[in-house]
Amino acid sequence: MLVTSAAWLEISIAQTRLAANVHDHIRATQAADGALRLCAEALRAGVAPVLPALSGERAHWKEIATFEEAGAYEPVPSWTGSAKPPQCVIEAISIAGRPDASAYCITARGFGAKASTEAWLQLMLVSEEGRERRAWRRIVAAPVPR
């Protein structure tokens, strides 16, 4: 009876930790999603900083240093329940063969209650001839230091 009770206690503790981790990840994802929306609005209003396109396959969002230094834009000073305010990096993208198109890659990082819990989301905006096209995706892995 004692062994069974101890086993159930361990299981309930593990389930509580799992639920807390899932809740924290959801909070980080909501912060990143909110940052994407706010940064897109700030881009349209012309108040968010835009980083120039890099040559080749390189991109600013792939460098963690971009988020740690002054390159990241914080659309709000804090996010309820998050350890840090969400951040975003807006990059200009050049599209070959379409000189009249303006394209941007917005990458957002949201935090959970612990700063180590992060969610990364990305939005591509392409404007051409008065029309705007959006493509959203989740970044599976965070950028790594080089």
Q: Does some domain include residue 95? A: yes
Q: Does some domain include residue 122? A: yes
Helix H or strand E segment including 13: helix 2-45
Q: Which of 7-11, 32-36, 80-84, 104-108 has the lowest mean pLDDT?
A: 7-11
Query: Tell me, what DSSP letter sits at residue 113?
Result: S
Q: Tell me how many domains the chain contains.
A: 1
Percent share of the chain, pLDDT over 90: 41
Q: Does some domain include residue 38? A: yes
Give the distance between the most distant pair of CA atoms in the chain: 75
Sequence length of the chain is 146
Q: Which of 46-60, 71-85, 93-107 has the lowest mean pLDDT?
A: 46-60
Round to whole Å and give the CA distance between 104 and 42. Answer: 13
Q: Does some domain include residue 51? A: yes
pLDDT one-digit tens code per residue, 109-126:
999 999 999 999 999 998
Please give the residue that has the higher pLDDT: either 92 or 143. 92
Instruction: Provide the residue range defining the domain that includes 116.
Output: 2-138
- Which tokens is 57 given? 């396959």
Which residues lie across from 131 on neighbouring strands? 128
Predicted confidence (pLDDT) at residue 57 exceeds the cutoff of 70: no
Torsion angle in degrees (nearest 10) through CA of 49, 61, 127, 39: -50
Round to whole Å and give the CA distance between 85 and 82. Answer: 7
145 residue type, one letter? P
pLDDT given for residue 134 in this prediction: 83
Q: Does some domain include residue 144? A: no
Q: Does some domain include residue 145? A: no
A 10 A CB-CB count for 37 gives 14
pLDDT given for residue 146 in this prediction: 63
Q: Does some domain include residue 146? A: no
pLDDT band at 39 (very low <50, low <70, confident <90, very high): very high
